[in-house]
A = this chain, B = another copy of it.
């Protein structure tokens, strides 16, 4: 499991050991099924949701496991080393906690043993732990998508100062990035002074580009994190987004043209420029939105940092350049 290191610290909280339980039933391989059942009657299961019993040697090294169900239906005299089977998957305490969930999905188990480097049994991750991981990872992704450095603590328990620090870094970075967008406007200042009407459409063009980019980036980021989109699917994803982008772009451009000319009675030249820009911006933003997360993940970054805010900033700059180029061509400003 690859780990990410952009704009955050504190990887310790994402280790398997934070969701591992040390309460379990460890039995000797030479015990008989009958004895194991007697032992179980005597001590009970240490935790309600533990479904497995573990077989370990004198050093505590995990030899195998069986479910309570298998124990119940086994012949009374069966030795545990004959009853047990090899674990379907093993976790290490220092593994990323996401691996626990992925391994459960792969192996079809909802309980996995955790062992150290010497194979000694340290604990288990059970379904309740996995559900905790799923919740926490989804929260993290959403926070990254909203330009927040993830924190583990619930909102109401987090201090104002910590909230400030988790948010201000990205805000500063994005604010300074937006300077490029301003530079583009300054560059075309003469055109704007000649055609002030163009200024009124800047927010709409920027927002639409940003929204289109968010839509495709969030879709791709979530697909990556659920394993629905794999490394070999990039061409398929790009082709799909191109088609969706064209459909959305044509729709928005048509509605906009109609609104500005027939309904609004505005300048037809400006209406054409705005609508054409919309079409190009929508397609470009959709492509950006699916390409950037892939680029991020191939550089070892979490794709989620490439979500909405960063793509918005880039698509803003793009849409303005497109806007002023098209205006220059069509309106000769």
Contact of A93 with B by CB under 8 A: no
Q: Determine the distance from Cα of A212 to Cα of B73 in the docked complex, in whole angstroms.
A: 59
**A148 close to B72 (CB less than 8 A):** no
Instruction: Give A53-82 as 1s and 0s: 1 = Cβ < 8 Å from B's Cβ atoms.
Output: 000000000000001110111000000000
Closest Cβ of chain B to A225, distance in Å, is 9
Give the size range of A's interface with the partner.
35 or more
| A252 with B171: CB separation less than 8 A | yes
Write the nearest CB–CB distance from A333 to chain B, whole angstroms.
Answer: 13
Known: A164-B247, A202-B203, A229-B155. A312 touches B218 (CB 8 A): no
Residue-by-residue, is A20-50 near B (CB-CB < 8 Å gives 1, otherwise 0)?
Answer: 0000000000000000010011001100110
- The yes or no answer to A85 lying at the interface (CB within 8 A) is no
Task: Provide the bound-state CA to CA distance between A174 and B171, in Å.
Answer: 23
Q: Does A181 contact B (CB under 8 A)?
A: yes
A18 at the B interface (CB under 8 A): no
Does A11 reach chain B (CB closer than 8 Å)? no
Q: Across the two chains, which residue of chain B brings its CB closest to A50?
A: B69
Task: Say yes or no: B48 contacts A156, CB within 8 Å.
Answer: no
Complex Cα spacing A214 to B218, Å: 14
Which residues of the partner chain B approach A183 to less than 8 Å between Cβ atoms?
Answer: 200
Number of copies: 2
- Which residues of B sit under 8 angstroms from A73, Cβ to Cβ? 40-41, 44
A208–chain B nearest beta-carbon distance, Å: 5
Within 8 A of B (CB), among A140-186: 141-143, 145-148, 154-156, 160-161, 163-164, 167-168, 170-172, 174-176, 178-179, 181-183, 185-186
Contact with B along A227-238 (1 / 0, CB 8 A): 011000100110
Minimum CB–CB distance from A283 to chain B (whole Å) comes to: 13
For A206, the closest partner residue in chain B by CB is B203
Residues of B within 8 Å of A179, CB to CB, are: 204, 259
Q: A306 CA to B127 CA in the complex, in Å?
A: 32
A7 within 8 A of partner (CB): no
Contact of A44 among B69, B147, B170, B217 (CB under 8 A): B69
How far does the alpha carbon of A189 sit from the alpha carbon of B226 in the complex, in Å?
A: 48
**Contact (Cβ within 8 A) A208 B248:** no
Quick check: is A201 within 8 A (CB to CB) of the other chain?
yes
**What is the bound-complex CA distance between A163 and B239, given in angstroms?**
13
Residue of B nearest to A43 (CB): B73
Which of A171, A174, A220, A248 has most chain B Cβ within 10 Å? A171
B-side contacts of A141, CB under 8 Å: 138, 142
A131 contact from B69, B130, B196, B212, Cβ within 8 A: B130
Give the residues in chain B near A316, CB-CB below 8 Å.
203, 207
